[in-house]
């Protein structure tokens, strides 16, 4: 059996390690970038971190005593993935700098084409292409006319000096908040253009002491315990957001509200920062220092909407020109692109674009009717945003391997979910989404074109249970 894994980020590295362990060594990991690391390779902005605690945001089979902080910085996370890939000797499977442009299902196998013209033919494709990957550029008049440096947060230009510069940031999502916390004290002036205020959950980020790290090294079982305790604590959050009337959501709201009331001194600024929707409706912002940073004398929160960008800066609708040297677009990602723009053609010539019109759909976020033996990690409608994506990917991979085993044993040649099972699950999922906090009156990247959350609306226990074993009646194998 030959396989292709697409993407050498967190999920692609996981796939390579697990395939290698299982003895399925005839595979290539295709990676368009020149290094592994996915989101942690692409995002290099100041302040980058993960708001999932590091001891949870780790592979369960590669826990490390060395994390420096509860929420360790981005470069350290990237280093972790590089080290784990090296330690498991899977870099040799990776083909860098070659983007898969097409996958076509022909006579029971997938034919792959890459940007360099390379071709491959495989039995199984595992798409590990990430979720928040394609930058979403704002449609603002005059953006191209800006005379200073302008870039998306995930394309940070390290040749540009921000120290002593006048820096503007558009957006107030997790990314912008992390940047504001990190750069305000370095720049001459920080201007944050806020369209929608955010709830901010205070969270300290203590460093692990040498003693703590030594103790983790000495007692690996303590690391395991910490990992599972954190998973349990996170599970409470994961389950709270899918039930907007839960007491836990109320606790989150109270904590965010107290953070705002207690820590923002100027009443006018406090009101400008006060959201008008429920906490955790948008992805909850976790920050130890955002409110401190935005209250610094060199920081300004601008709530007037943007009229246009001019060579000298950003003009808001009140007529004011905010003069800038650098403009950062922390405006998020196209969350419904997944592995597109890759051209993917399934059984009978159906294209992924056709299958995903009007919107992406997948059975358990892993597989798509008529795309046999093509499996996704962190595909559409999964538990993104309220859990550690690493555990999600590990569970999904274990599930996919059970399907792959059935192909390997010769029990089936082609496995894809039935249309009926996919539609039934989707209908149930859409209904369940009505109870979640994501539909309580805000806009976010969680919502699809109908305003329905394109994410897992059930408990994490249910996800774990679904991932335990495929229900073969829901498939239409051949």
- Closest C-alpha among 374, 209, 182 to residue 287: 182
Residue (283 or 322) nearer to ligand NAP, CB: 283
Tell which positions 405-444 bind ligand NAP, by CB under 6 A.
Answer: 443
Q: How far is the CB of 54 from ligand NAP (least distance, A)?
A: 11
- Judge contact between 40 and 78, C-beta under 8 A: yes
Q: Map the footprint of ligand NAP across residues 225-264, applying CB under 6 A.
A: none
Question: Angle, to 10 degrees, between the axis of helix 74-87 and the axis of helix 10-22?
Answer: 20
Of 388, 440, 62, 444, which Cα lies nearest the Cα of 235? 388
Identify the residue whose tokens are 């149930």.
428
Q: Give the binding range for ligand NAP (CB under 6 A) out of 20-28, 46-54, 62-70, 94-102.
A: 46-54
Asked if 176 touches ligand NAP (CB under 6 A), the answer is yes
Residue in 168, 173, 382, 457 binding ligand NAP, rule: CB under 6 A: 173
Rounded least distance, CB 329 to ligand NAP, Å: 8
> What are the b/e assignments for 284-322, b being 16+ CB within 10 Å?
bbbbbbbbbbbbeeebebbbeebbebbeebbbbeeeeeb
CB of 308 to ligand NAP, least distance (A): 11
As given in the structure block, the two tokens for residue 10 are 């967190």
Candidate list 283, 315, 322, 429; residue touching ligand NAP; CB under 6 A: 283
Question: Taking CB under 6 A as the rule, does residue 172 contact ligand NAP?
Answer: yes
Strand partners of residue 226: none
Which residues inside 294-353 make contact with ligand NAP, applying CB under 6 A?
A: 306, 330-333
- What share of residues in the chain are helix, strand, coil (percent, to 5)? 35, 20, 45
Q: Which residue has the tokens 């957006």?
A: 171
Selected range binding ligand NAP among 43-51, 210-218, 228-236, 372-380, rule: CB under 6 A = 43-51
**Shortest CB 8 distance to ligand NAP, Å:** 20
Please identify, among the stretches 169-177, 222-230, 340-348, 360-368, the one whose residues bind ligand NAP according to the rule CB under 6 A. 169-177
Task: For residues 30 and 93, give the distance between their C-alpha atoms in angstroms, rounded to a whole number.
Answer: 9
State the virtual CA torsion across 387, 388, 393, 398 in degrees, nearest 10: -80
CA dihedral 425, 13, 176, 266 (to 10 degrees): 80
* From 10, 140, 200, 390, residue interacting with ligand NAP (rule: CB under 6 A): 140
CB of residue 469 vs ligand NAP: minimum separation in angstroms? 29
Of 160-168, 173-181, 339-347, 372-380, which segment contacts ligand NAP by CB under 6 A? Answer: 173-181
Coil vs helix vs strand at 29: strand
Taking the complex as a whole, how short is the minimal distance between the CB of residue 124 and ligand NAP, in angstroms?
29
Assigned token pair, 160: 């540009």
Rg of the chain over Cα atoms, rounded to whole angstroms, equals 23
Residue 191 C-alpha from the chain's centroid: 26
Determine which residue in the list 15, 28, 58, 174 makes contact with ligand NAP, applying CB under 6 A.
174
184/402 Cα distance (integer angstroms): 50
Q: Is 100 in the site for ligand NAP (CB under 6 A)?
A: no
- If the CB atoms of residues 352 and 454 are measured against ligand NAP, the closer one turns out to be 454
Residue whose pair of structure tokens reads 């774990």 in the numeric block: 464
Would you count residue 51 as binding ligand NAP (CB under 6 A)? yes
In the complex with ligand NAP, the residue whose CB is nearer, 208 or 445, is 445
Q: Does 388 bind ligand NAP (CB under 6 A)?
A: no
Q: Which is nearer to ligand NAP, 52 or 425 (CB)?
A: 52
367 binds ligand NAP (CB under 6 A): no
Bridge partner residues of 166 (DSSP): 189
192/272 Cα distance (integer angstroms)? 12
Say whether residue 132 binds ligand NAP (CB under 6 A): yes
Which CB, 419 or 443, lies closer to ligand NAP? 443
**What's the CA gap between 219 and 65, in Å, rounded?**
9
Residues that bind ligand NAP (CB under 6 A): 49-51, 132, 138, 140, 153, 170-176, 178, 195-196, 283, 306, 330-333, 385, 443, 445
């Amino acid at each position: 059996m030959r396989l292709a894994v697409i993407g050498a980020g967190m999920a692609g590295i996981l796939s390579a390690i697990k395939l290698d362990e299982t003895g399925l060594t005839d595979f290539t990991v295709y990676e368009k970038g020149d290094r592994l690391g996915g989101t942690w390779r692409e995002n290099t902005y100041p302040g980058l971190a993960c708001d999932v605690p590091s001891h949870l945001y780790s592979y369960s089979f590669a826990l490390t005593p060395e994390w420096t902080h509860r929420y360790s910085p981005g470069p350290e996370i990237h280093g972790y993935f590089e080290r784990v890939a090296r330690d498991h000797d899977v870099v040799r499977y990776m083909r860098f700098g070659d983007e898969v442009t097409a996958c076509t299902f022909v006579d029971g196998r997938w034919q792959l084409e890459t940007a360099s013209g390379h071709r491959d033919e495989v039995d199984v494709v595992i798409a590990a292409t990430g979720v928040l990957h394609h930058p979403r550029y704002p449609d603002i008049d005059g953006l191209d006319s800006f005379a200073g440096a302008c870039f998306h947060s995930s394309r940070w230009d390290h040749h540009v000096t921000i120290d002593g510069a006048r820096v503007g940031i558009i957006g107030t999502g997790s990314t912008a908040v992390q940047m504001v916390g990190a750069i305000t004290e370095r720049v001459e002036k920080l201007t944050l253009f806020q369209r929608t205020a955010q709830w901010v959950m205070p969270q300290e980020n203590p460093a692990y002491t040498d003693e703590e790290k030594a103790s983790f090294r000495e007692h690996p079982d303590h690391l395991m315990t910490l990992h599972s305790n954190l998973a349990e604590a996170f599970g409470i959050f994961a389950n709270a957001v899918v039930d907007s009337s839960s007491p836990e959501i109320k606790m989150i709201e109270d904590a965010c509200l107290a953070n705002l009331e207690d820590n923002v001194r100027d009443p006018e600024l406090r009101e400008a920062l006060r959201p008008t929707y429920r906490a955790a409706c948008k992805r909850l912002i976790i920050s130890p220092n955002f409110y401190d940073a935005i209250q610094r004398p060199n920081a300004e929160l601008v709530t007037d909407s943007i009229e246009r960008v001019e060579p000298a800066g950003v003009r808001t609708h009140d007529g004011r020109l905010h003069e800038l040297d650098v403009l950062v677009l922390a405006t998020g990602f196209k969350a419904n692109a997944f592995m597109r723009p890759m051209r993917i053609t399934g059984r009978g010539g159906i294209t992924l674009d056709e299958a995903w019109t009007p919107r992406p759909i997948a059975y358990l976020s892993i597989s798509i009717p008529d795309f046999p033996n093509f499996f996704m990690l962190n595909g559409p409608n999964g538990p993104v945003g309220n859990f550690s994506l690493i555990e999600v990917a590990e569970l999904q991979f274990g599930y996919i391997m059970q399907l792959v085993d059935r192909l390997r044993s010769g029990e089936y040649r082609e496995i894809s979910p039935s249309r009926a099972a996919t539609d039934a699950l989707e209908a149930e999922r859409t209904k369940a989404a009505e109870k979640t906090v994501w539909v309580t009156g805000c806009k976010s990247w969680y919502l699809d074109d109908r305003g329905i959350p394109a994410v897992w609306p059930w408990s994490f226990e249910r996800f774990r249970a679904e991932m335990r074993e495929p229900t073969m009646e829901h498939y239409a194998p051949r």
